[in-house]
Amino acid sequence: MNTNAAKKFLQDESGLELSEYAVAAALVVAALVTAFTNLGSTIKAKIETLITNIG
């Protein structure tokens, strides 16, 4: 492979867009799942504290 072909190959970004979007979407979903899991745990702890204080 000559240097011009190597440069052209490295600069070519076609065909990667879909896979990049898929990876980005997976990272967003993972972040949301983590956030909601932590939020759910925090809410559960607050509710249990309220129940203990009321009861």
Answer whether residue 25 is part of any domain.
yes
Answer whether residue 24 is part of any domain.
yes
> In which domain, by residue range, is 23 found?
17-54
What gap in Å lies between CA 40 and CA 54, rounded to an integer? 21
Confidence of residue 11 (pLDDT cuts 50, 70, 90): confident
Answer whether residue 2 is part of any domain.
no
Quick check: 9 pLDDT over 90?
no
pLDDT the model gives residue 15: 63
For 22, the token pair is: 């898929």
Q: How many domains does the chain have?
A: 1
Answer whether residue 45 is part of any domain.
yes
Computed over every residue of the chain, the mean pLDDT equals 87
Answer whether residue 6 is part of any domain.
no
Quick check: 2 pLDDT over 90?
no
**Helix H or strand E segment including 46:** helix 17-54
Quick check: 48 pLDDT over 80?
yes
pTM score, two decimals? 0.57
Task: Give how far Cα 48 sits from Cα of 15, 35, 37, 39, 41, Å.
Answer: 51, 20, 17, 14, 11
Task: Give how far Cα 54 sits from Cα of 23, 40, 42, 43, 44, Å.
Answer: 46, 21, 18, 16, 15
Answer whether residue 9 is part of any domain.
no
Quick check: 25 pLDDT over 70?
yes
